[in-house]
Amino acid sequence: MAAEAAEAVYAFGGTAAFWIMHDGMFAHQDDLDPPALERRAAEAAVDPIVVRAALEARRFAGRVERDVESGRANGVGGTPSVFINSERYRGPRDVPSLRAAIAAAAPLRNEQ
């Protein structure tokens, strides 16, 4: 339901609203029931009634399920998962290692 609420906030409020919603949900991971999601939407300047209606109608359920299935198909067992040029990165998560992996993959962009 939280993922559906985040999709609704993005649809009705755009990218900035999505990130406000994301940060609010992340900060309050133990409080993701419908009233809390509506409060987070309001904090993101999106009408909570519109978000409630989207949740009740399951308007974004298909999109969320497709994302979950895509993750499963790509071996994602949790978050965060990192992909570089559509390939799952399994190396260290420190900045120098990630920069090196991105730099190594950069020539692939020119071949496409």
| Number of domains the chain contains | 2
Angular region, 58: left φ>0, alpha ψ -120 to 50, beta rest: left
In a domain, 70, yes or no: no
In a domain, 8, yes or no: yes
> Residue-wise pLDDT tens for the chain (112 aa)?
999 999 999 999 999 999 999 999 999 999 999 999 999 999 999 999 999 999 999 999 999 999 999 888 888 887 788 889 888 899 999 999 999 999 998 875 555 5
Residue 71's pLDDT is: 86
- What pTM does this model have? 0.74
Q: Determine the structural domain holding residue 101 and report its residue range.
A: 80-111
Say what the alpha-carbon torsion angle 84, 16, 51, 47 is, to the nearest 10 degrees: 180
Let me know: does 6 contact 17? Beta carbons within 8 Å: no
Tell me the C-alpha distance between 88 and 53, whole Å: 36
The owner of tokens 């900035």 is 16
Return the SS3 of 74: coil
